[in-house]
Amino acid sequence: MDFQAGYLRSSIGRKTIVAITGIILFGFVFIHMLGNLQIFQEPDKINTYAEFLQSLGGLLWLARGILLVAFVLHVYYALKLSLENKKARPVGYVKESTIQATVSSRYMALTGSVLLAFVIYHLLHFTLGKIQPENFALQETIGDKQRHDVYSMVILGFKNIYVSISYIVAMTLLAFHLRHGVTSVFQTLGLNTPFWAPKTNAFAILYALTIFIGNTSMPVAILLNFVKVPGAQ
């Protein structure tokens, strides 16, 4: 109770929670991208990877639970901090100074809100199969057994120009969000000193660009027909 009344209600406490959950989510985004990039290899690679994840059973659900808790806490406290900052400065300056503020930092709440909607859409599409269910139902036959054909599902999903465009737009917003978010994590942890600031800033930019290029390369390659379902023209 004292913890709730004290630490969680303090600005530094909330920022720390946002930072810690941010680190968890940053790590997941990178690992998730690496797994998805197997789409550039033969179909067996990503299908075997998906089959392995499903074979984890309870461990997979535990990981999903941790990610869900981290995501909810990150969104809740980030939005709470944003609203509190606005209330603390209800009247805008006559001349807004944005020399120290990047575009990504000024629109964190907006990009975060849009990304929340995208995550829900993405889960409904590729994880739950509620969008384009015909692609989600595709099966690959291996010997005398069948498994989920993730390779074909992803390619056919991104063949839809609207799906690919929405994904590319979301990854653009994610890059802006990560660019400031990673820097904020270093700042919260006390690592944005004059010595480390240029290095952490460079790392944040490099990380955001890596995620953007890696994730957008998939729908772009599929739309350009560089990656296609075996046997398709």
pLDDT band for 8, please (50, 70, 90 cuts). low
pLDDT for res 147? 92
Residue 4 pLDDT greater than 60, yes or no = no
- Residues in Cβ contact with 170 at an 8 Å cutoff, skipping those fewer than 6 apart: 114, 115, 118, 122
**In the chain, which ranges are E strands?**
139-142, 145-148
Q: How far apart are alpha carbons 18 and 129 in whole angstroms? A: 30
170-212, pLDDT tens digit by residue? 999 999 999 989 998 988 888 878 888 889 999 999 999 999 9
122-156, pLDDT tens digit by residue? 999 999 999 999 999 999 888 788 999 999 999 99
206-223, pLDDT tens digit by residue? 999 999 999 999 999 999
Judge contact between 193 and 120, C-beta under 8 A.
no
40-77, pLDDT tens digit by residue? 999 999 999 999 999 998 999 999 999 999 999 998 88
Q: How far apart are alpha carbons 151 and 45 in whole angstroms? A: 9
Among 156, 146, 173, 125, which residue's Cα sits nearest to residue 225? 156
